[in-house]
Amino acid sequence: MKTDGQHVICDLWLVESVSQKEVLRVLTSAISKGGLNVVGEAYKDFGGDAFTVAFILSESHFSAHYFPERNYIAIDCFTCGDEGNPISAVAYVVKELNAQETSIKVIKRGMK
């Protein structure tokens, strides 16, 4: 198993708040578009469309925290090896949710 990978961290501010259902739809589509494979999931609904979700991937993980009162989503996607494309997955979310502003960091991990 390879240890090298990419860790994508994204702060995303939306033009306007969207429903929890829509955000979850976009996140699951992004995972698929990025060629990532879900093997497990944890989800916490905080009410008022706020939620946290963590997808356990065969490549590592994809998590999101949605704060609808601030039109803000924090995304974290880490993959090990050559499978999947976390940058494409996060870029899909940014495009589909009509981001007003983003901050994206890509960190190379697991390499000496």
Give kind and range of the element (H or E) at residue 94: helix 86-96
Annotation says 65 is catalytic: yes
Looking at 10, 60, 61, 77, which residue is catalytic? 60
Looking at 19, 80, 88, 103, which residue is catalytic? 80
Query: Are the C-beta atoms of 52 and 5 separated by less than 8 Å?
Result: no
Looking at 61, 63, 65, 88, which residue is catalytic? 65
Contacts of residue 77, Cβ cutoff 8 Å, sequence gap at least 6: 7, 8, 10, 34, 36, 61, 62, 63, 86, 89, 90
Annotation says 10 is catalytic: no
Annotation says 60 is catalytic: yes
| Residues with catalytic roles | 60, 65, 80
